[in-house]
Amino acid sequence: MKAIRYHGPKDCRYEEVPDPKPGPDDVVIRVRAAGICATDIEVYDGVMFYFTENMTRVPIIPGHEWAGDVVEVGKNVGGFKVGDKVTGECSVGCRQCDYCKRGWYNQCPHRTETGLLNRDGGFAEYIVMPRFNCYKCNGMTYEAAATIEPTGIALYPTKVAGVCAQDNVAVIGDGPIGLYMVQTAKAYGARQVVLIGSREERLAVGRQLGADQALRYRDADVVKQVRDATGGHGVDVVLEGVGKPSVWPIIAGIIAPRGRVMMTGLFAGKTCDVLFDPLVVNNVTIHGTVGGPNCWAECIDLHERGLVKASPIVTHRLPLAEFEKGVEMSRQRTDGAIKVMLLP
């Protein structure tokens, strides 16, 4: 089959590799859509943590946001048949350690991660996955199904924060994750969602997807704008999806008493100046989350019911061979690119 393989920094090759074969518990999928994410840009550049720390084998096929059709199943596999449309979770736990047994498979010390950590990903014609990590999504388009992974990254902190109808929610970041956070917060009934981002065209997409306010974080008075929008109260929940120290003064300025701050962006080793006294006095919770464990079925349901939409987020499509072009489009946000899909 044809695949994109990472051999080293800025050395990803479109090449012929052996077709994957299923083990007894595996499913082989013909990939029909695979999204390029900011992490794939880090992989391409060779700066992603697993690669700089030599944690993963190389060469590896990247791509952790994908969907396709089942074409072959292993002998133990029930519940999936040839022709099912599926997507699959990125984190594949060992299913035996204490973390896995508690459902924390994305923390499993023995885990593999599709396209990132010792497991080939979806920038290929075929992918092999354990059946335990596959989900049927017959009611969705391939492109939307390939965005279940980023949807999970948005839904998980929304769930963990317990977003409810009383909550004013601020989403920080207008990338695909932030644009999904707007929708998951709305799906959970948030009273008001304020999107804080940097690009006017993306803020417009945020409004289209349900943001009640869409503000620029470079505006000097953005904190006042959020306070004004919430009658002086501030926001009960912050869903942070940027990972830049410059967002912290905004978070500290807008969080309400008893607020919950959900951090999902990675800070690439940078530290934040945090004034803790107001957080202590106001009983603020700060919570880090990674991935979207135990919520893929719910993500699929939200998409299938139309409560969450991929269509304005997926902006561009390219053939698999044009992976590098897709990476550069995503990096430069060429032509308003938000999510670029490869169609193998």
Under the criterion CB under 5 A, does residue 108 sit at the interface with Zn ion?
yes
Binding marks (x or -) toward Zn ion, 113..142, rule CB under 5 A?
Answer: ------------------------------
Of 103-111, 129-137, 213-221, 286-294, which part binds Zn ion (CB under 5 A)?
A: 103-111
How many angstroms separate the Cα of 61 from the Cα of each of 4, 40, 102, 108, 312? Answer: 6, 11, 30, 21, 27
CA distance 5 to 17: 9
Q: How far is the CB of 65 from Zn ion (least distance, A)?
A: 6
Q: Which range touches Zn ion (CB under 5 A), out of 76-84, 89-97, 121-129, 300-308?
A: 89-97
Shorter beta-carbon distance to Zn ion: residue 143 or 236: 143
Selected range binding Zn ion among 52-60, 105-113, 280-288, 319-327, rule: CB under 5 A: 105-113
Q: Does 148 interact with Zn ion (rule: CB under 5 A)?
A: no
Q: Which stretch binds Zn ion (CB under 5 A): 71-79, 86-94, 154-162, 207-215?
A: 86-94
Our finding on whether 37 is near Zn ion (CB under 5 A) is yes
The least distance separating Zn ion from the CB of residue 138, rounded to whole angstroms, comes to 23
Among 88, 93, 210, 265, binds Zn ion (CB under 5 A): 93
The least distance separating Zn ion from the CB of residue 171, rounded to whole angstroms, comes to 17
**Among 34, 36, 39, 120, contact with Zn ion (rule: CB under 5 A):** 39
Residue 75 CB, shortest distance to Zn ion, in Å, is 24
Instruction: For residue 111, give both structure tokens.
Output: 């885990």
SS3 of 77-94: the string is CCCCCCCCEEEECCEECC
Q: How many chain residues touch Zn ion (CB under 5 A)?
A: 7
Q: Please report whether residue 100 would count as binding Zn ion according to CB under 5 A.
A: yes
Nearer to Zn ion, 77 or 90 (CB): 90
CA–chain centroid gap for 326, Å, is 17
Nearer to Zn ion, 22 or 150 (CB): 150
Q: Does 1 bind Zn ion (CB under 5 A)?
A: no
The torsion of the CA quartet 204, 208, 214, 218, rounded to 10 degrees, works out to: -30
Query: Is position 62 an interface residue for Zn ion (rule: CB under 5 A)?
Result: no
Identified binder of Zn ion from the candidate list 1, 41, 94, 204, rule CB under 5 A: 94
Applying CB under 5 A, does 310 fall inside the site for Zn ion? no
Measured in whole angstroms, how far is the alpha carbon of residue 254 from the centre of its chain? 25
Nearest approach in angstroms of CB 38 to Zn ion is: 7
**Residue with Cβ nearer Zn ion (17 or 97):** 97
Smaller CB separation from Zn ion, 108 or 250: 108
Q: Which of 87, 102, 22, 34 is nearest to 330 (CA)?
A: 34
Closest CA to 158 of 84, 262, 307: 262
**CB closer to Zn ion, 19 vs 98:** 98
For Zn ion, the binding residue among 1, 17, 97, 279 (CB under 5 A) is 97
Residues that bind Zn ion (CB under 5 A): 37, 39, 93-94, 97, 100, 108
